[in-house]
Structure 1
């Protein structure tokens, strides 16, 4: 079926005419006043929805603030209770630590407890306990590093990662800076 171009145009025109009869007719355009009225109604509904959403958000924020304030008050009370308990336990510990020391002094010479004997015992308890430092935990590492070995060489020698060695050295430097 080989048609001429004018045949295609005629066939297309007939198709358009048939389709126009079968398709439902559109309603006449609404007047501008009706369109404006519909827009106003839609905007009012939108504004009402926004206002109700805003009210809900405000209530949610208020509830969250009151919950946070209550939790903060509970935590504050708990901290205070724990501080009191800690102070009480420290005082008990001091009593327990002092009683055996004084008991030893009294059993040795109950009639002659003089301040010259009690004072050295009190001073002995105040001697600071040596703190565990990074340098004391990794003596081999710092010995090799102080000999001038590179971080790679130290890591290989001690079967450690290079990053781990660097971290330990940096932490030791920070620790020394804090103590200085």
Structure 2
């Protein structure tokens, strides 16, 4: 037998076998257990999402009320501080506009305008000690003047190198301005 005969016999055999094997029955499509499980899972997911959304809404509402309360407290404090500032300004204005009252140890002395002038002149004569950068940062300048490097001074005092350089430069400018 030739090759085409074998192919024909094989095809006939397959055809007979396909007729002989039982066919699957077409069952009507009804919801299976997996689809009901999927529906239940989706319903639970939606319920969880709704409860999470409600919690988020409650959290946002609480945050808004807290912020509103804090804002009201701050506004009240600002108003109180403004009133206090206005009160202090008026008290300062009264102190400035009132003539200075001399306090005398002797009750029998008479208060004269000439005494007020003398007190004012005495106050003007005493100059306030001038605060320089060198007096403010004495330890820094002691270390720097003793020959320590800027890095060593900065490490010793726990400051930044740039900060130490700036202080030294400002002190030099201040000394130049005073001369």
TM-score by length of 2: 0.51
| 2:166 counterpart (166, 170, 173) | 173
Whichever structure has more helix as a proportion of its residues is 1
Larger radius of gyration: 2
Task: Quote the residue 2:35 is aligned against.
Answer: 36
Distance 1:137 1:148, change over 3 A: same
1:20-49 deviation per Cα after TM superposition (whole angstroms, max 9, x unaligned): xxxxxxxxxxx9711111111111111112
Question: Is 1:59 paired with 2:63?
Answer: no
Are residues 79 and 172 of structure 1, via their aligned partners in 2, closer, same or farther at CA, if it must alter by over 3 Å? farther
Aligned 8 A contact 1:152 1:162 in 2: yes
Relative distance call for 1:55 and 1:62 in structure 2 (3 A) is same
User: Which structure 2 residue ranges, 5 or more long, are not aligned?
Assistant: 1-29, 103-110, 171-179
8 Å contact from structure 1 (residues 145, 151) kept in 2 = yes
Aligned residue for 2:112?
108
Q: Residue deviations 1:113-168, cap 9 Å, x none?
A: 9xxx8xx99xx7xxxx8896764322242255367641366x5xxxxx72525449
Q: Does 1:78 align with 2:77?
A: yes
Task: Assess if the C-alpha contact under 8 Å between 2:134 and 2:141 holds in 1.
Answer: yes
Unaligned runs of 5+ in 1: 1-30, 156-160
The superposition leaves residues 27-80 of structure 1 with CA deviations (integer Å, 9 ceiling, x where unpaired) of xxxx97111111111111111121121012112211211221121122112112
Q: CA RMSD in A?
A: 4.2
Match of 2:12 in 1: none
SS at match of 2:38: helix
Per the TM alignment, residue 94 of structure 1 is displaced from its structure 2 partner at its CA by: 3.5
Output aligned runs, 1:17-166, within 5 Å: 33-101=32-100, 103=101, 107-109=111-113, 135-142=134-141, 144-145=143-144, 149-151=148-150, 155=153, 162-164=155-157, 166=159
2: CA distance between counterparts of 1:45 and 1:133? 75
Matched-pair contact (CA < 8 Å) for 2:144–2:150 = yes
In 2, distance between residues paired with 1:166 and 1:46?
58
Cα distance 1:91–1:152, how it changes in 2: closer, same or farther (>3 A)? same
Distance change >3 Å, CA 35–CA 87, structure 1 → 2: same
